[in-house]
A and B are shown apart, each in its own frame.
Chain A
Amino acid sequence: QVYLVQSGGEVKKPGASVKVSCKSSSYTFLSDSFTWVRQAPGQGLEWMGSVNPYSDDTHYAQKFQGRLTLTTVTSTNTAYMELERLQFDDTAIYYCARGGGLNGLDPWGQGTLVTVSS
């Protein structure tokens, strides 16, 4: 069974950046894609983007273009999500999930709460 373990919660000021990690226990890390999804308080799921560790191919939601960077480090089986120029409405739980969306996202990490506060 594959597990995804994310880094801990963060509190950031407006304008700052945050980088969240997602470590996979999968031995097929290179053949998996990883997707990032966020959920604002009381709101639904929002797709942010996906990354393929083998090809470094990335796809981003248009609203995050220019301030979202998804990367992977294959030596540590870890995916990263970096979001820049944080605003108050970026306060959300950020999830990583295995898969690029073609055949479902499974499993999911435990989520990382990012709070943007002055």
Chain B
Amino acid sequence: QSALTQPASVSGSPGQAVTISCSATNSDVGGSDSVSWYQQHPGKVPKLIIFDVSSRPSGVSNRFSGSRSGDTASLTISGLQTVDEADYYCCSYTRTNTVLFGGGTKLTVL
């Protein structure tokens, strides 16, 4: 059982915004500034889309944004496009120098 809890699935219509939450259930993780998010299309390699809670790597669309409130990090995707349909994973570096992944969220664009 992961110490990072994500909803199993979310959905939205093209043009809408969706938010995926990632809640820490472990004190080693809560409040971490080292939260990252990954997008994975079926059969493809995971891709970093957010690091350090809210920073975007070069080349990642500004439709992706990250935030954190207390022990919950969030990924918001605005202006949904069909190409955004994928699995999304949150990830946190812990105080014990380990890394945890959330269980993943399947985004469906209706």
Q: How long is the Cα–Cα vector from A96 to B72 in the complex, in angstroms?
A: 27
In this assembly, does A50 line the interface, its C-beta being within 8 Å of a C-beta of chain B?
yes
The residues of B that contact A47 with a CB separation of less than 8 Å are 91, 98-101
Nearest CB on B from A7, distance (A): 15
Is B101 in contact with A103, judged by CB distance below 8 angstroms?
no
Query: Contacts of B101 on A, CB cut-off 8 Å?
Result: 37, 44-47
Per-residue interface assignment for chain B, residues 18 to 47, with 1 indicating a CB less than 8 Å from any chain A CB and 0 otherwise: 000000000000000010101010000111
Q: Which residue of A lies closest to B6 (CB)?
A: A44
State A70–B35 Cα separation when bound (angstroms).
24
Which listed residue (A61, A95, A101, A104) contacts B45, Cβ 8 A? A95
**Would you list which residues of chain A between 64 and 110 have a CB under 8 Å from chain B?**
95, 97, 100-110
